[in-house]
Amino acid sequence: MNIDSVDFFYASMPSVTYDADGSQDTLLVRVRSGSDEGWGECEASPLTSIAAFVTPRSHGVCQPVADSVLGERLDSVDDIARIAALVRRNSMDLLQAPHTFSGIEIALWDLLGRRLGEPVWRLLGGRRAYPKVPYASMLFGATAQQTLDAVKSAADAGFRAVKVGWGTFGQGSVDADADQLAAAREGLGSDGFLLVDAGQIWVDDVAAAAQRLPALEAAGATWIEEPFLPLAYRAHAELAGRSGTVGVAGGEGAHSVHMATNLIDYADVRFVQIDTGRIGGIGPAKAVADYAAARDIAFVNHTFTSQLALSASLQPFAALPDHRICEFPLTPSELARKITAGRLELVDGELLPLDAPGLGLDVELEAIRPYLHDVEISIDGHALYAGEHFGGTR
């Protein structure tokens, strides 16, 4: 069958704050082929991603993503890789293309899985899905006490791992950061996995990051995530050489396989974290998972939005038994919570990827109707894109 349509649905909370909370808006993607449909989610600016799908051609390798997707055959897994190669070549100079195509690619996997009656992880070659240890992903509190209370609440809810990040961490004194880390450890207890996300705050300043290592080690942190900009490989490697028991983690900013594998080869990360909604979808994420596994580097999903994105992020490493840690958005926005009818639930502190066709979750468009925006992109009075009812192209 051919890909008949690609429809986008831009939704957001009524008020979007400055918090580093990616669940405040979303760009959902629906792909239809014959009587089948699949859903994906882009982890990117919604309007710029829609624009990358329809923007007029600038030259041979700066074409709209639509030109490489609409009308293409979708009969097998190989077709998804073939379409991805078309997008990569034809939209080479369109820098938003990987983010736009990520949601489309995820939807293609969901559609194909539903058509064939198989979960995506099985289409990727997995024989069984293994349980993961989810970490409750949250922001640092404004005070150490707020951090302690939030982490303790997650531990009481059954989480054996917690990640705290962003907030004022790295922006103030070393002592203030140490207090936050001690509070997080106290809230989690002595046995849980404590993970810390610096949110690229030190850019490439190794000395500033290294000042926090004693407090990170004292708190028993498993990793320090994204201490620097994604391409600051040398800084990552220098910190990794000084970090002792604390591993360096990164990769969520990768929008290609090579960006991710370079972190493994040149930045000495111990944990590579990949967002299927950014890297180009599930296929590229699976390539990174296999590359990491062959080099004894832990593959971890990255996601901070909806259950749909969570399910997509689990597919690339669902069948890897030794890669256990996974991110779990603890308190997503009301919008993010309403996107799907079902959800992945913790059982005895573990999360099992769904054994259901496609991604295993159904999108509830009616539930998010109040959050949806009508979008029109036009040039010289001609509409390149126009939202109709819930969204769509024409």
Q: Please determine, for residue 282, whether its predicted confidence score (pLDDT) is greater than 60.
A: yes
**Could you give phi then psi for residue 152, rounded to 5 degrees?**
-60, -40
SS3 label, residue 157: coil
> Full-prediction pTM beyond 0.75?
yes
Instruction: Write down the pLDDT at residue 391.
Output: 41
CATH fold for the domain made of 123-351: TIM Barrel (3.20.20)
* CA 26/CA 332 separation, integer angstroms: 12
Q: Where residue 47 falls among pLDDT bands split at 50, 70, 90?
A: very high
pLDDT, mean of residues 183-187: 97
- Per CATH, the homologous superfamily of domain 5-118+362-386 is Enolase-like, N-terminal domain (3.30.390.10)
List the domain boundaries for the chain.
5-118+362-386, 123-351
**DSSP class of 147:** H
pLDDT tens digits, one per residue of 58-80: 999 999 999 999 999 999 999 99
pLDDT tens digits, one per residue of 315-374: 999 999 999 999 988 888 999 999 999 889 888 889 999 999 999 999 999 999 999 999
List CB contacts of 54: < 8 A, sequence separation 6 or more.
Answer: 64, 66, 377, 384, 385, 393
Instruction: Write down the pLDDT at residue 329.
Output: 86
CB atoms closer than 10 angstroms to residue 286 = 26
